[in-house]
Amino acid sequence: MYEIPKHFKSEIKITKSFHLKEIVILLLTAFFLYLSKGMVHSSLTIPYYVFGMGVSIFLLMPSRSNPKRKMYHTLFYAIQKNRIKYSAIDVHMVENIMNDEVVSKVL
């Protein structure tokens, strides 16, 4: 009869590695850089564009330490983290995680 979608939050892929949301963010970044180029000295306009687009591309890259997240998520989590709060690390849990990673690399 009717097919029920399994993924409600699936992103629209443009290419293998780019999603529609990322393309829109890059276009908005380029537009913002174009609008704000009047505040930059004329000899620094091209480095300003290169640096701005480079930073936005870096922030849109997948995070190595946080799977299924982008670098801007990781940066936000690092800024938002409560550094005063103490939380103990379970040694056995860390050992299990390390053993699982070693086994997955071998396979």
61-72 pLDDT per residue, tens? 888 887 788 888
Distance of CA 80 to the CA centre of its chain: 16
How far apart are the C-alpha atoms of 71 and 62, rounded to whole Å? 6
Q: Is the pLDDT of residue 21 over 80?
A: yes
What six digits make up the tokens of 71? 């670098």
Domain ranges in the chain? 20-106
User: CA 48 to CA 44: how far, in whole Å?
Assistant: 6
pLDDT band for position 16 (50/70/90)?
Answer: confident
Q: Report residue 59 as tokens.
A: 């922030």
User: Which residue carries 């995070």 as its tokens?
Assistant: 63
Phi first, then psi: what are they for 10, rounded to 5°? -75, 140
Residue 39: band (very low, low, confident or very high) from pLDDT cuts 50, 70, 90: very high
